[in-house]
Amino acid sequence: MKLGYYISGIGHGLLIFWLLFGGLFTSSRDTPPAPVADVSILSEEDFAALTAPPEGPPEPEPAPEEDAEEAPVPPARPEPEPAPDPEPELEPLPDPEPPAPDPAAPAETAPDEDTTPPEAPRVADEVIQPPDDPAETAPEAVEEAAPSPEPTETPVEEQDAAQPEAQTTEIVTEAETPTSSPTASLRPRARPERPDPVETAEPEPTPDPAPESEADNDPVADAIADALDTPDPGAGETQAPLGPPITSAERDGLRVAVSQCWNLGSASTDAMATTVVVMVRMAPDGRPQGVDLVSSNGPNQSATQTAFQAARRAIIRCGANGYNLPSDKYEQWREIEMTFNPENMRLR
């Protein structure tokens, strides 16, 4: 029992000692705040002068760094995507002689196989949704762009009248906290400006962040604006050619068209039990340009080869005159991943 008292007493003693004298150690570490007290004593102007310059440079710096890091990332993904050639032997190029496509294929196929499979599971469920959102935002921005002169002018006038009053109350001390309200007011300015650069050219996003940061002198707003602006041009690039989403009727039409030529009458029993996934590269006129094997669950290579041949034959044969696909949505069916599942066919 006494041992417990001793331990408790020692522990409490140490705690009291640390509370009394621990500040000495911590204060030595917090030496930088000490000069801050001095600065507060000097004057508000000096404090504002000291705080403004340090905040400006550090915040814009990380913002562009991250933007610069993230900006190249999006293009890095699209790069592997467009090249979906899988296997050299299965190269379905229209060249009459197989040896010609074979040598060229390996260079393309190696990266394609690596990139396409991981993307498939991720994007599969949400492919349709992304194009919808950007498609909606683009027209909104365009619509706002036309009437923007009138609405933008009115709010700006109101803010100009209100801002001086607010500035008089507390100007510098809470310059950072009111940033939330300025950022909200800045966004409407940035949005109407985006469609213009998107429509005209890609490099315009870069000038957008510059004037905003300069005008506001708010690092938080600048950084957020930079973050918003950098992805916007990227999204604008994909949004513009995507067009409206593929409808279920258009999708079904394509499915039926390919099904009519998918003939398993000469397939082996193993091939009849093999599901193959192929990537079809489409030309703008609706004709298949190339068919590559993406994956298969065949019990052996022969069955996989036969199942792939039947799928490729179906795609090419029924697409000889071009599939009936909307040309304004070409970006959405430029590449089509088709899964040929013969499970129902085996029962016939």
Partner 1 sequence: MNMIRLLALGLAILALSHTPFAATAQSSGPLRIEITDGVIEPLPFAVPTFQAETGSAGPYAQEISRVIAADLSGTGLFREIPSSAFISDITNFAAPVQYADWKAINAQALIAGAVSEQGGQITVKFRVYDIFSGAELGQGLQYTGTIDGIRRIAHQVADTVYSRITGETGYFDSRVVFVSEQGPKDARRKRLAIMDYDGANVKYLTDSDALVLAPRFSQDGSRVLYTSYETGQPQIYVLDVASATRQAMGTGGGNMAFSPRFSPDGSSIIFSLEQGGNSDIYRMGVNGGAAQQLTSSPAIETAPSFSPDGSRIVFESDRSGTQQLYIMSANGGEAQRISFGRGRYGTPVWSPRGDLIAFTKQNAGRFHIGVMRTDGSEERLLTASFLDEGPTWSPNGRVIMFSRESQGETGASALYSVDISGRNLRRVTTPDAASDPSWGPLQN
Nearer to partner 1, 104 or 158 (CB): 104
Q: Give the dihedral of Cα atoms 151, 155, 158, 159; nearest 10 deg.
A: -160
Look up residue 138 and give its two tokens. Answer: 């683009």
334, 344, 216: which is closest to 282 by C-alpha? Answer: 334
Told to check if 114 binds partner 1 by CB under 8 A, we report no
Told to check if 302 binds partner 1 by CB under 8 A, we report yes
Contact stretch for partner 1 (CB under 8 A) within 141-149, 158-166, 184-192, 235-243? 235-243
Segment 194-223, which members bind partner 1 (CB under 8 A)?
Answer: 219-220, 223
Nearer to partner 1, 132 or 157 (CB): 132
Q: Which of 190, 198, 224, 293 binds partner 1 (CB under 8 A)?
A: 224
Minimum distance from CB of 3 to partner 1 (Å)? 44
Q: Which of 159, 163, 185, 238 binds partner 1 (CB under 8 A)?
A: 238
Minimum distance from CB of 169 to partner 1 (Å)? 21
Rounded Cα–Cα distance for residues 17 and 278 (Å)? 73
* Site size for partner 1 (CB under 8 A): 96
DSSP labels for 188-232? Answer: HHHHHHTHHHHHH-SSTTTTTHHHHHHHH--HHHHHHHHHHHTHH
Between the two ends of the chain, the Cα-to-Cα distance in Å is 85
Residue with tokens 């985006």: 194
Told to check if 112 binds partner 1 by CB under 8 A, we report no
Segment 251-290, which members bind partner 1 (CB under 8 A)?
Answer: 251, 254-255, 258-271, 279
Rounded Cα–Cα distance for residues 158 and 143 (Å)? 23
Told to check if 124 binds partner 1 by CB under 8 A, we report yes
48, 33, 76: which is closest to 234 by C-alpha? Answer: 76
Told to check if 68 binds partner 1 by CB under 8 A, we report no
Q: Which of 78, 147, 151, 207 binds partner 1 (CB under 8 A)?
A: 78
